[in-house]
Structure 1
């Protein structure tokens, strides 16, 4: 049995920390993506509330997309309506887990995926904390409706929802292809049962 350590394991065995420049770059990537996602989400919500709330839906791209401001007390795509405080606490947990996991990241793909999830979770959490009717009960601003206004074909969503879904899909795909957050790559070993030498 080989006792050779991978670069990641060698780094962790020295003082329990990895001080390679790459790990700092991945932290910067994760939090940079999160800040951009949060900024775009908050900026878009402020703009549509100021200009479109109470107005008829705005038709864009030949009717492929409509901007239609709705206040959502539930989760993404209007799920779990009435459980706003539970969703707020869940978002806080998600943010905490990602922040805890961040120093262990050794994969750029995972950094981007978790950055999108972190930015999206913080965007919707900000609505639940600071918008009416009150802390942990605030309604999330949704405004993107595809193919028809008022969510006639698909539930109305926002930039944060899109970031969470895209980040989650990226992380799942990386996992399916055997790429872990710590940089390890798992390959399927094909063994023939009962094979004798």
Structure 2
């Protein structure tokens, strides 16, 4: 049986896309964790008590511009504080959900042959795992980017949240606007 060039190229392309996706995920994860370390230990360190949600005297917000502050907010839920319960088991539920979603995305990543999808999926995986680390360490996610206008504040977020949102928006946009491949 003779294999065509496309049949041989497909596994190589998928391996390359897997490497790209994991590379993007690793970069997103590292940037998220470095930014959180900087916020927690340099920019807005806890003034009394342990670092984390149990901080007794957090540093005051730092105004960067007229529309952007650095703040220290601990999110025990998901985006915008949804599902933020004080139940002791909730961080574990959210960790499990993030890991299951990441596993599904890894399967998708293993099958893709498109660079755009690999990058987008990598952003979501890296962001999800960055927030999982916070939940494991602190039981909550460290949010610190605060954009505001005319007294209205967008909910604080972090680098991982940004990666997740950008990755999902790119995947949805691709699904809505990509032209079907001609065969």
Unaligned 5+ segments in structure 1 are 1-6, 132-137, 180-184, 188-197
Larger radius of gyration: 1
How big is each residue's C-alpha offset from its partner over 1:58-105, in whole Å with a ceiling of 9 and x where there is no partner?
Answer: 111x22211101111111222211143322111011111112222211
**Matched residue pairs, number?**
161
- RMSD after superposition: 2.3
Equivalent position of 1:98 in the other structure: 105
Take 2:109 and 2:127, find their aligned partners in 1: how far apart are those partners? Answer: 16
Take 1:19 and 1:186, find their aligned partners in 2: how far apart are those partners? Answer: 18
8 Å contact from structure 2 (residues 10, 113) kept in 1: no
Equivalent position of 1:192 in the other structure: none
Shift of 1:152: 4.9
Take 1:92 and 1:24, find their aligned partners in 2: how far apart are those partners? Answer: 22
8 Å contact from structure 1 (residues 37, 160) kept in 2: yes
Unaligned 5+ segments in structure 2 are 46-57
Take 2:37 and 2:80, find their aligned partners in 1: how far apart are those partners? Answer: 19
Take 1:63 and 1:111, find their aligned partners in 2: how far apart are those partners? Answer: 36
Take 1:73 and 1:102, find their aligned partners in 2: how far apart are those partners? Answer: 29
> Taking structure 2 as the reference length, what is the TM-score of the superposition?
0.79
Equivalent position of 1:110 in the other structure: 117
Q: Is residue 2:43 matched to residue 1:46?
A: no
Q: Is residue 2:83 matched to residue 1:80?
A: yes
Take 1:39 and 1:80, find their aligned partners in 2: how far apart are those partners? Answer: 26
